[in-house]
């Protein structure tokens, strides 16, 4: 049997190196590449066509949720296994809505990581042992959960994250290869949809929605 091709996506270098070491110790798993943010993950998934993408949730520039949603459309054969420090069913539900096929907490043992990768490679779904499947199913059935964030377009969510990370309009325009006017228009529309009219409010919303992490 050929090795399962895996792409590792994690923004913290030390954590990524630790996970890479674990993956290298697993028989029949081949790490074909690494990425440090969601944007790089999109590019490398399209380039390398891994069977499984180990995706961190909280990352700069483009978070794991948004990257997963885009991969689900552009690279459906690459199954996303979310890696997170959050043992929270709401995060699991959001991940599944985005298109992930599994959710693994970072404190999981190597054996569970190996099993999760094998399960996704078979086309099945995997949750960490500590996750309540029934709670996730209830959240998935609740259409109102996460509905506010879902009202934004993919581009608006991307710009929201960059605003929350402290990027100014000109910097966002340069990063996304957009005009300043276009960024300002997206910003106005997302504020209208959220009913939030200042940057501190957008930051609070982004933290609550899991787009960025709080420094506290």
- The structural domains of the chain, with segments of one domain joined by +, span 4-141, 147-208
DSSP 3-state of 38: helix
Q: Kindly calculate the radius of gyration of the chain based on its CA atoms and give it in whole angstroms.
A: 17
How high is the mean pLDDT of the chain?
A: 86
> In the prediction, which pLDDT does 139 show?
59
Q: How confident is the model at residue 145 (pLDDT cuts 50, 70, 90)?
A: very low
> In the prediction, which pLDDT does 137 show?
66
What average pLDDT score do residues 169-198 get? 90
What average pLDDT score do residues 124-147 get? 68
> In the prediction, which pLDDT does 45 show?
97
Say yes or no to pLDDT of 216 above 60: no
Lowest mean pLDDT among 9-13, 58-62, 109-113, 207-211: 207-211
Using CA atoms, how far apart are residues 15 and 40, in angstroms rounded to an integer? 17
Using CA atoms, how far apart are residues 139 and 89, in angstroms rounded to an integer? 8
pTM above 0.85, yes or no: no
Tell me the pLDDT tens digit for each residue of 25-78: 998 999 999 999 999 999 999 999 999 999 998 888 888 988 999 999 899 999
What average pLDDT score do residues 172-194 get? 90
- Topology match between the domains 4-141 and 147-208: no
Cα 2 to Cα 27, 30, 79, 121, 170: the distances in Å are: 10, 9, 17, 12, 47
Architecture (CATH level 2) of domain 4-141:
3-Layer(aba) Sandwich (3.40)
Eight-class DSSP state of 30: E
Cα 37 to Cα 118, 153, 155, 165: the distances in Å are: 24, 20, 16, 14
Report percent pLDDT > 90 for the chain: 47
Q: Beta-carbon neighbour count of residue 141 at 10 Å? A: 9
Q: What is the total residue count of the chain?
A: 216
Lowest mean pLDDT among 88-92, 112-116, 122-126: 88-92
Using CA atoms, how far apart are residues 172 and 169, in angstroms rounded to an integer? 5
CA quadruple 66, 58, 55, 115: dihedral positive or negative? Answer: negative
User: Structure tokens of 53?
Assistant: 């993408």
Architecture (CATH level 2) of domain 147-208:
Orthogonal Bundle (1.10)
Pick from 115, 100, 132: which is nearest to 9 by CA? 100
28 vs 90, higher pLDDT: 28
> In the prediction, which pLDDT does 215 show?
57
Using CA atoms, how far apart are residues 107 and 131, in angstroms rounded to an integer? 13
Cα 175 to Cα 104, 113, 127, 178, 179: the distances in Å are: 31, 34, 35, 8, 10
206 vs 34, higher pLDDT: 34
> In the prediction, which pLDDT does 47 show?
96
């Amino acid at each position: 049997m050929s090795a399962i091709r895996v792409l590792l996506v994690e923004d913290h270098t030390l954590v990524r190196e630790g996970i890479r070491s674990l993956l290298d110790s697993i028989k029949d798993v081949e790490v074909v590449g690494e990425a440090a943010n969601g944007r790089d993950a999109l590019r490398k998934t399209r380039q390398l066509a891994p069977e499984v993408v180990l995706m961190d949730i909280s990352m700069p520039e483009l978070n794991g949720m948004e990257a997963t949603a885009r991969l689900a459309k552009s690279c459906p054969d690459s199954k996303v296994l979310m890696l997170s420090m959050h043992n929270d069913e709401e995060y699991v539900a959001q991940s599944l809505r985005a298109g992930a096929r599994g959710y693994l907490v970072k404190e999981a043992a190597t054996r569970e990581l190996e099993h999760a990768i094998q399960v996704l490679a078979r086309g099945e779904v995997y949750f960490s042992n500590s996750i309540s499947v029934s709670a996730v199913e209830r959240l998935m059935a609740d259409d109102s959960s996460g509905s506010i964030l879902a009202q934004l377009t993919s581009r608006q969510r991307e710009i929201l994250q960059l605003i929350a990370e402290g990027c100014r309009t000109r910097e966002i325009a340069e990063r996304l290869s957009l005009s300043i006017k276009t960024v300002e228009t997206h910003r106005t529309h997302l504020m209208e949809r959220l009913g939030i009219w200042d940057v501190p409010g957008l930051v609070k919303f982004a933290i609550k929605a899991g787009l960025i992490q709080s420094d506290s």
